[in-house]
Structure 1
Amino acid sequence: MVKLFEKLTRKDQHIHPVSRKKRKWLTITIIVVLVIGGILYSLADRYLIQHVQVVVADGNTAVASTTTNIKSSDTTTSTQPSTDVNATSDDWNYTSDNLKIQIKKVQTGSGSDQITYYVADVEAKDARSLRSALADNSFGTNITEDTSEIAETNNAIFAVNGDYYGFRDDGVIIRNGVLYRDSPTRDALALFNDGTMQTYNENEISSVKLLAEGVTNTLSFGPILVQNGDITSDFSSVKIDNNFGNRSIQDANPRTAIGMIAPNHYVFVVVDGRQDDSRGMTLSELAQTLKELGATEAYNLDGGGSSTMYFMGRVVNNPLGRNQERGVSDILYLTEGK
C-alpha cells in the first residue's frame, strides 16, 4: 500500500502545473455549486415545497354541504335555500334569522395620506357560524389557496384571511376544535364556543386548558391590538417572525384584524395599502380604529398581500393593489348552518 501511494505521488508530481491548477478550480467550483444548491434546496423546502402533515377529515365539507352558498346581487333579494334559511342580501349586507353582516367602505385623508379600509359588522345567533378553514383542506407548510377559493369551497358567506400559520412552524394552532400544533411562542387569540374572544400569551395558558374551556379556534400572529377595552401598547418593538424575507410590520401596511364587541358580535377590518389611493395603516392606527368601532378585544392577523375580504362570491377590497389575491394557509369565515 505504501509503495502504491508513493507511485501515485510521484505520478502526481509530474502533472503539468496548469493541469493541477485546473483541477483545483474544478474542485472549488464543484464545492461552491454543492453549497449553493444545498442552500437553495433548503430555502425551497422551507418556503416553497408543500409539506402536508394532516389531511383534514371532511368535517367542514360535511357541514358546508348543508349550508347556503348565496351569490351577490345588485338589489336586495330574498332566498329560500334547502336549509330553510330565509335571508336577504345585497353587495354590502346579509340578513337572516341567524346572521347579520353589514360591510362599509371607509376612506380617510387625502393624497399620499389617504387610507381605504373595509369594516364588516357581524352579529350571529350561534358561535358555530364563525369557523376556520384550511387551504386544500390540509394542515402543513406551504399549502396555499386564495382566500376566495377556500371560502367558496366551504360555502362561506363572508371570509377574511387568517394568520398564515403555514409560513412558520411555531405557535398554538387549534382549528374547529382540533389541536394541530402546540408550540407556544407569542401573544395569540382564542375564539370560544360561547361566542367570546380572548387574547392571551401562548406561554401562559396551556392548550389543554383552552380546549377544556371550549376553545374552537386559535390564531397565532399578532400583536394584540385591544385587550379588556384598552389599546395594549405603542407597538414600537413588535416582532412576529424571524423568517427570511420578513419586512417591518410597524409601518403603514395593508392589514387584517378581528375584534369582538360583545359575545357573538364581531367586527372585521381589512385595510388596503401600498397603493395610490391607500397607504395602509400603522398598528397604532389599526388599534385605534378597532377601539373606536367598539371592540373590547382585537387582534392583528396576517397582512400585506394576504389582506383580503370576501363577501357573497366576490372579493370586496383590492389585494396587492391590483385586485390580485395572494395564496394563504387559512381563512376565518361565516356561514349558515349548525
Structure 2
Amino acid sequence: MDTSTEPARPRALARRTLLGGGLALLAGTGGSAAWAYDRFLREKVEVASVSAAEEAAGTSATAVALATDGTYTATGYTSSTTTITLTSTATGTGSEALAWYAAEIEVSGASIIRSAFAQDDFGQNITEEPSAIAAAQDAVLAINGDYYGFRDTGIVIRNGVAYRDEPARDGLAFYADGRVEVYDETATSAQELLDAGVWQTLSFGPAVLVDGAVPDGVEDVEIDTNIGNHSIQGKQPRTAIGVIGDDHLVFLVVDGRSEGYSRGATLPELGEILAGLGCTTGYNLDGGGSSVMIFDGEIVNQPSNGGERATSDILYVAG
C-alpha cells in the first residue's frame, strides 16, 4: 500500500443548502409533517446572543487576551501564543483509497481553543455553514463540532458558560489548565464541571483512543437512537479531536464516500490514525456530510456533500 504525506492545500469554499437533506429526513420519519417539522426543522432558540452571555460571564473573545502577531503559511500558522501545523495524507488506491487532513495545535492557554454557535444563538435546529460561523469569529482554524442542536441531551459547556445539563453519554472536557479528558456525563453535572475548571465540553463520541489504544468494541457503540439519527458505524467521513498533551491537540478530518479518492474510516481506523499522529486520547465528533476543516477562511478538505453542510457549532482556534 502506497502512502504519501504532504502539506494540506486550502480548497475553494463551496456552498450548499440544507433544504434537500431536511426534506429527505422528513420523508423517513413516518410521523406527521407538522411533528417532523417541529422536531427537525423549526428553530428553537433557548439563548439568544450567546456572545452577550459570554461577555457577561467574562469569557468572550473580547475579554480574553489573544495574539495579534499571527503569520499564515501554506502549511500552518504561528504567533506568540499558537503554533498550527497542517498535513494531508493519502493511502491506498481504488476502493481502498483513504485521505485525511490533520492540524497539530500547540497553544499557550486553553482559552485559545474556543467554540461558536450558528447564528450566535443556542437551541435546537439552528444551523449555519461552518465557514460563516468561523468568519464571524475571525477563526484561524475551525472544524465542525458535535451538532449539539440535533438533540436535546448532553452536557453543553462552551467558552466557560453552561448551556445544557442533560447527561447522556461519554463526553469530552477541555479544562482551563490545558487538560482534555473523556468523561462520563452521567456521573457529574454541568455545575460540577464548571467548578472543576472545565472550559468546553463536547457530547458525541465515542472515544476512539484511550491511553494510546483503541477500545475494544468501539465499532459497536451507539451514540443516539432518536429518529433520523444516521449510523456512525462503517466507513464514513469523520471529524475527531486527538490529545497529545496539555494544550497540545490534533484536529482531524477524514474524507469519505468518494471511491478512488477516499472511502472514509471506521471508528477503529480513526483511533489508529490519531495514535499515529502521536495522540493518546481520541474522540469522535459529528461526521458524514458535516465533516469539514477550515483554515484561513478556506475549506481544506473535500466534504462528501460536494460542499459544506450547515451545522449547529464549530470548534476553532482563535487568533
What TM-score, normalized to structure 1?
0.80
> Residue 292 and residue 84 in structure 1: after superposition, are their counterparts in 2 closer, same or farther (change >3 A)?
closer
Question: How is 1:28-107 mapped onto 2 (pairs within 5 angstroms)?
Answer: 39-55=32-48, 56-58=50-52, 63-64=60-61, 85-107=68-90
Say yes or no: does 1:203 pair with 2:182: no
Say yes or no: does 1:327 pair with 2:310: yes
Q: 1:275·1:321 contact (CA, 8 Å) conserved in 2? A: no
User: Matched residue pairs, number?
Assistant: 286
Counterpart secondary structure, 1:104 = strand
Task: Give 1:270 shift.
Answer: 0.1
Q: 2:123·2:149 contact (CA, 8 Å) conserved in 1? A: yes
More helix by share: 1
Task: Give 1:320 shift.
Answer: 2.1
Query: Given the alignment, which residue of 273, 276, 286 partners 1:302?
Result: 286
Q: Which residue does 2:109 correspond to in 1? A: 126
Deviations along 1:32-70, one digit per CA (max 9) or x if unpaired, are xxxx997111011000010001011436689556999xx
Q: Which residue does 1:230 correspond to in 2? A: 213
Say yes or no: does 1:316 pair with 2:310: no
Question: How is 1:182-201 mapped onto 2 (pairs within 5 angstroms)?
Answer: 182-201=165-184
Task: Give 1:313 shift.
Answer: 1.1
Task: Give 1:91 shift.
Answer: 2.7
Say yes or no: does 1:163 pair with 2:157: no
Counterpart secondary structure, 2:32 = helix
1:84 & 1:219 partners in 2: Cα distance? 25
Q: 1:130·1:332 contact (CA, 8 Å) conserved in 2? A: yes
Q: 1:177·1:211 contact (CA, 8 Å) conserved in 2? A: yes
Query: Given the alignment, which residue of 175, 185, 189 partners 2:158?
Result: 175
Task: Give 1:216 shift.
Answer: 0.7
Give the residue type in structure 2 aligned to 1:296. Answer: T
2:92 & 2:130 partners in 1: Cα distance? 28
Q: Over the residues paired in the alignment, what is the CA RMSD in angstroms?
A: 2.1
Which entry has the higher C-alpha Rg, 1 or 2?
A: 1
2:142 & 2:192 partners in 1: Cα distance? 28
Counterpart secondary structure, 1:231 = coil
1:63 & 1:92 partners in 2: Cα distance? 29
1:283 & 1:37 partners in 2: Cα distance? 30
1:65 & 1:184 partners in 2: Cα distance? 30
Q: 2:54·2:161 contact (CA, 8 Å) conserved in 1? A: no
Task: Give 1:292 shift.
Answer: 1.7
1:181 & 1:89 partners in 2: Cα distance? 36
Query: Given the alignment, which residue of 284, 288, 293 partners 2:268?
Result: 284
Give the residue type in structure 1 aligned to 2:194. Answer: L
Q: 1:190·1:199 contact (CA, 8 Å) conserved in 2? A: yes
Counterpart secondary structure, 1:252 = coil
What TM-score, normalized to structure 2?
0.85
Give the residue type in structure 1 aligned to 2:52. Answer: D
1:248 & 1:170 partners in 2: Cα distance? 18
Listed as ranges, the gaps of 5+ residues in structure 1 are: 1-35, 69-82
Paired-residue identity, %: 47
